[in-house]
Structure 1
Amino acid sequence: MTETEAAADLRRAGDVLAAEAARYASFGWMRGTTGNLSVVLDRDPLRLAVTASGLDKGELTASDVVLADGDGAALGPGTPPAEAGLHARIAQLTGADAVVHVHTVASVALGYRQPGGIVFKDLEMLKILGHPAEDEEITLPVISNSQDMRVLGDRLEAARDPRMPAVVVAGHGLYAWGPDPRKARHHTEVVEWLLELELAGR
C-alpha cells in the first residue's frame, strides 16, 4: 500500500469514527473529552485508527484520529488515548475490527455493585447479542481498573466470555466491540440498555 493510499484509509476511518463519536456524545456517554473509539486498518502487522486524546468527542473531524500500532503507540502525528493499548489487545484477542469505550453512569455504578459480573437472562434484547430471549444466562464480566493497559488487558483476557462482546471496567466504564463500527455500536447500545435496566432494579 502506498503512503497516499494509507492516508486515504486513515481519513476514511476518521470520517466513520467522528460520526460514531458524535452519536455517543449526544447520549451523554462521552462527556467532555472522555471515551475513545478505534477501527482496525490492517492486521499484519496490527494497525488501528484511534480517536485522538484530549478532544471533545462530539466535535471530531476526519483528521482527529491517530494511527497506532499493536501496542497502542502512535505511528504518526497526534496523541493516542491512554487506552489505545487496550483497544489493540481487544482486537487481537477477539478478532474484532472496531472497539468502543464509553463512560456511562450505569456501567460504573453496576461495576461497583456487582464486581463478580452482571448476569442477564430472559430478556428480548439478548437476541441482538446472538442469544435466545429465554433459558440462557449470559454474564457481562467486570474487571478491576488499572492505569497499566497491559495489566488491564491481562484481566480482560482472563475474565472475558466469548459469548459477550463487552466488558465493564470498574470505576471506569464500558468497552464493547464488533466486526465493524456499526455492529460494535449495536453491541454498545444493547449492553448499555441492559445495564440501565439492571440499574433500575428490574
Structure 2
Amino acid sequence: MREAGAALAVESRRFSEYGWMRGTSGNLSVVVNRDPLLLAVTASGVEKSELTEHDVVLIDETGRAADPADPRPPSAEAGLHSHIAARTGAGAVFHVHALDAVVAGHRWPEGVEFRDMEMLKGLGHRAHGTTIRIPVIPNHQDMRVEGECFDAEYLPATDLVPEVPAVIIANHGIHAWGADVAAARRHLEIAEWLLRFAVAIR
C-alpha cells in the first residue's frame, strides 16, 4: 500500500500543478491485487496538492472500503475506478477535473471524435486513417448507474470506433486508465491535449 500511495502522491502533485485537481477534487487509483480485485485509491477530502503516501484507502471490486481497520472513506467515485479496472484490465485509473474535458463533454455530448492527428499514437492508434471517439457519459452519484453508463458507451467498441482508454463524465471531469501508472498518466495527458485542441478550434 505504501508504494502505491507514494506513486499516487507523485501523480496527484503533478496533476494539481496542471490545475486538474484543484482543492480536494479528483481521485487516482492503482490496482494492488487482481484476484480478488483490490485497489488503492486516494482518500476522500484530502487536498490533492498535499497528498502523501499515507493518504490512500484500500477498496474492493465494488468500490467499498476493504480494510476494516481504516475508518477513512474512499473517494466518491471509487466504485467507478474498480468497475473500470475490472472491465478493462487496467492497472491504474485516474480521474481529474480538467476544464477542457468538461467543456468538450458539454459541447459534444455524443462523444468527441478525432482523426488524422499524430497524438492518437499515444492512445494506441494510428495517426492517420483511424477515427477515435472519446465517449461522454452522464454524471450520476450512484456508481452502479455510472458503471452501467460506462458499459453502454465504452464496451461496444468496433473496428470503426475502436477502444480509447478515456471517458468524459458530463459536467464533471475525465477518467483515463492504463496498464500501469505511467500508461494511465500518458493516456490522460494525451486525451486532455486532444480535448483542449478540440475546444480551441471550435
TM-score by length of structure 2 reads 0.94
Residue in 2 that maps onto 1:169: 169
Task: Single out whichever of 172-181 and 131-140 deviates more from structure 2.
Answer: 131-140
Unaligned runs of at least 5 residues, structure 2? none
Tell me whether 1:71 sits opposite 2:62 in the alignment. Answer: yes
| Secondary structure at the counterpart of residue 164 of structure 2 | coil
Q: 1: CA distance between counterparts of 2:60 and 2:126?
A: 37
Map 1:63-142 onto structure 2 (within 5 A): 63-76=54-67, 77=70, 78-142=72-136
Q: 1: CA distance between counterparts of 2:64 and 2:123?
A: 31
Tell me whether 1:47 sits opposite 2:38 in the alignment. Answer: yes
Q: 2: CA distance between counterparts of 1:27 and 1:54?
A: 19
Q: 2: CA distance between counterparts of 1:62 and 1:105?
A: 27
Tell me whether 1:15 sits opposite 2:6 in the alignment. Answer: yes
1:150 aligns with one of 144, 152, 156: 144
For residue 76 of structure 2, what is the amino acid of its counterpart? A
Tell me whether 1:30 sits opposite 2:52 in the alignment. Answer: no
Deviations 1:19-57 (A, max 9, x none): 011100010000010000000011211111000000111
1:75 deviates by: 1.8
For residue 63 of structure 1, what is the amino acid of its counterpart? H
Question: How much identity, in percent, do the aligned residues show?
Answer: 55
| Secondary structure at the counterpart of residue 111 of structure 1 | helix
Unaligned runs of at least 5 residues, structure 1? 1-9
Q: 1: CA distance between counterparts of 2:193 and 2:131?
A: 17
Runs (4+) off by over 2 Å: none
1:152 deviates by: 0.4
TM-score by length of structure 1 reads 0.94
Deviations 1:150-173 (A, max 9, x none): 000000011014620000010000
Residue in 2 that maps onto 1:184: 184
| Secondary structure at the counterpart of residue 58 of structure 1 | helix
Residue in 2 that maps onto 1:201: 201
Q: Root-mean-square deviation (CA), in Å?
A: 0.9
Q: 2: CA distance between counterparts of 1:39 and 1:182?
A: 11
Residue in 2 that maps onto 1:6: none
